[in-house]
Structure 1
Amino acid sequence: MSFITLIKNAQVYAPRALGLCDVLVAGNRIAKIDQSLELSASIGATVDADGAWLIPGLVDSLVHINGGGGEGGFASRTPELQIRDALGSGVTTVVGALGTDAVTRTLHDLYGKARALDAQGLTCFMQTGSYQVPVNTLTGSVRSDIMLVDPVIGVGELAISDHRSSHPTRDELVRIAADARVAGLLSGKGGVVSVHVGGGSGLLHPLFDVVEHSDIPITQFYPTHINRNGDLLANGVAFARAGGFIDFTTSTTPEILASGEFRASQALRLALEQGAPVDKLTFSSDAQGSLTNFCDQGGLKNIEVGDIGSLFDEFRLAVQEEGIEFSRALQVVTSNPARALALPGKGVIREGADADLVLVDPDRFAITHVMSRGAWKVFDRQSSVTDVFA
């Protein structure tokens, strides 16, 4: 399909509402946003949005792209992410990470999967490390991984306040964050430490402790699963009010919700009501991760698989059921995670930004078209993505 595309008559949310506009895409970039733009058929293709919402491609900051899990034994290992599932859900940028299992799920495998997804048209980054300390790396150090391995943008998913973590000390957290920060400064990357926060009594206190007793800024940490329970949500609001980003997980199960977890959409409303700044709040899907439900004694009760489609679903629920204004809810799945991880050109619609765009039918609040890096991957609800071995 043409590398020059004009999208006409779209209600553009950048994520800020821009009104009815035309958007010109040239190559993999947004070239022009204006009204009454025209494009000759001999130069490129024109798509009439007919008033549909045009939003940035969603940015998913935590996906176990090469599968995860295993807390229920080897038979419970979860499957890899399929690119059709991501693009069909409006997700055009993902960040891959390891979780509990860094033995049979390796960084080398994660790297290979990230490169494969990127080659198929999905922008894919990755984190070095996993739940464990000392941090597993590709090259021997956090600094060299971030500086020398192109897709690596930070460290994660490092676990705290969880019975599955390595229970890192303050000094260990300081050293990891400092190495990631310096590497980010030297390479022009975010160098952020993405942190899995479990249901333990420690909450976010290990991160507050680092910030209080070191020169590490609070923005160096990006904690997720903050909608796990009421105490963690309140602690997360304090973290956000102090200047840090916090992330709510959109994948869940009825059993996990019954144990005290909030839906991400509900947690967003509660956090805003408690005074959290909206520009410090994000959603991620935790897709392909194992959704584990542990009993009070730590035994596994049941396990399911995270769904990348939950990211758009919870954005929709935030608007339709929680009453959050459209642009505010949209930034939680687009521009906010892009800023948290220092991914310029992602999560926004502006001239010069990456051409990652999603058209949404306003009557059904449903995705109809998805463009990733300037190419249509879903057009009129039909996917053009095919697996190499299909």
Structure 2
Amino acid sequence: MTPADAQNDRLLTLLRVGSLYAPEPLEANDILIADGRIAALGRDLEIPAGWPVRVVEARTLTAVPAFIDQHVHVTGGGGEGGCGTRCPEISAFEIAAMGIGTVVGVLGTDSISRSPADLLAKVRGLKAEGISAYMYTGAYRVPPPTLTGDIQRDLAWIPEVIGLGEIAISDHRSSQPRQDEIERIVSDTRVGAMLAGKRGICHFHLGDGKRGLEPLRRLLSETEIPADQVIPTHVNRHPALLEEAADYALTFNASVDVTAFEDAGDGLSGFDAVSRLLERGVPSELITMSSDCNGSLPEFDTQGTYLGMKVARNTTLIADWQRLVREGVLPLESALGLISTNVARVLGLHAQKGRLAIGFDADVTLLDNKLQPQQTFIAGKCIYDLNRVEE
């Protein structure tokens, strides 16, 4: 065993950093990690001689909670143009290289050649590689495909299943679900999640159809379902939908998810969308951002005919987020909420993720002064290190 291998096998890890945002700025500059969790935070922590500690010197870097991407086509999306247009799977390296520690896998349009079982296998594969990974049961269509034949059983018996999604509404590719069908699957998800001790979020894909957010407005107005049970995504697909999303968030005190579109087309970029929501008075705590990475970016004509597609990447998510901080739209501590703290709360993971605090999962991203991820630690293990890649 080499000295480097011996260091990596130590039971404890001590990160010595330049600054620390938890997401609020802390006086601490050391993070002690034990058994995958944060054991201590402090300034210049002293470790007794002989303790099995691996020390990571990163005095020029800033430690923040590792990012959380709640909308990732981990098995690849696409297929709208036939089998030759299926998007590729994402790798653990591609995830961690962007400072992302946790992902939630989704199926999309294609739940025929791909299935919840495929998604679960990929999620477990990512976990084996060190990524913290979860999934939604279901897909675009209603009734949703499931692992056990029932939404409630999926939530109750499959640890990785934390909700339902992405259910497509206001989109020509959706199943055009009736209002009573939407109410039934959301309530099934709620009860199943309660039995499992989970949040049980219902993740809704918004298309550019004229109904917009109306099905979700009716759901929250006409039933007893609480607003934190559902989250609409792709709300920046076009300006009118974003305006509707701002009103929806303010009316129901509900969270909305902005997609970091690589090519916004008629829509708005993640940067522009977050900026406009804030201008409309939506609190940053009610805004999250996700990548939709490895999903398809299909183009259709006015008749719904497929014209072509691109594959989304998670690099745009980080670039849009960095721009929000660099241009002063949000301070770093508030901007971190968009891709960590707020997301953890939405998903019901807020007791273990989205913060740097004692007892929380040791999911830590180290950023340079340009906010670029240099190292990503997940459960205390270094999954990505830019220096090693460059070597």
TM-score norm. by structure 2 comes to 0.94
1:271 matched to 2:277: yes
Mapped partners of 1:376, 1:287: distance in 2: 23
- Contact 2:63–2:367 at 8 Å: present in 1 too? yes
Over the aligned positions, Cα root-mean-square deviation in angstroms equals 1.5
1:16 counterpart (7, 24, 27):
24
1:247 counterpart (216, 239, 257):
257
Q: Determine helix, strand or coil for the equivalent of 1:382.
A: helix
- Contact 2:139–2:167 at 8 Å: present in 1 too? yes
Q: In the TM superposition, what is the alpha-carbon distance from 1:293 to its structure 2 partner?
A: 2.2
- Contact 1:370–1:378 at 8 Å: present in 2 too? yes
Q: In the TM superposition, what is the alpha-carbon distance from 1:51 to its structure 2 partner?
A: 3.9
1:289 matched to 2:298: no
Structure 1 residue ranges without an equivalent (≥5): 385-390
- Contact 1:266–1:322 at 8 Å: present in 2 too? no
1:238 matched to 2:244: no
What is the one-letter code of the residue matched to 2:365? V
1:320 matched to 2:326: yes
1:335 matched to 2:344: no
What is the one-letter code of the residue matched to 1:319? V
Q: Report what 1:29 is aligned to.
A: 37
- Contact 1:86–1:309 at 8 Å: present in 2 too? no
What is the one-letter code of the residue matched to 1:250? A
Q: Report what 1:372 is aligned to.
A: 378
* Mean Cα deviation higher: 302-311 or 221-230: 302-311
Identity %: 36
Mapped partners of 1:239, 1:171: distance in 2: 20
What is the one-letter code of the residue matched to 2:89? E
Mapped partners of 2:37, 2:247: distance in 1: 38
1:95 matched to 2:104: yes
Mapped partners of 1:32, 1:148: distance in 2: 34
Q: In the TM superposition, what is the alpha-carbon distance from 1:185 to its structure 2 partner?
A: 1.1
> Taking structure 1 as reference, are residues 109 and 380 closer, same or farther at Cα in structure 2, changes over 3 Å only?
closer
Mapped partners of 1:268, 1:348: distance in 2: 21
1:179 matched to 2:185: no
Map 1:1-390; keep pairs closer than 5 Å.
1=8, 2-39=10-47, 40=49, 42-241=51-250, 242-253=252-263, 257-259=264-266, 261-321=267-327, 323-343=329-349, 344-362=351-369, 364-383=370-389
Q: In the TM superposition, what is the alpha-carbon distance from 1:217 to its structure 2 partner?
A: 1.1
Q: Report what 1:387 is aligned to.
A: none
Q: In the TM superposition, what is the alpha-carbon distance from 1:48 to its structure 2 partner?
A: 2.4
Mapped partners of 2:269, 2:387: distance in 1: 27
Q: In the TM superposition, what is the alpha-carbon distance from 1:124 to its structure 2 partner?
A: 0.6
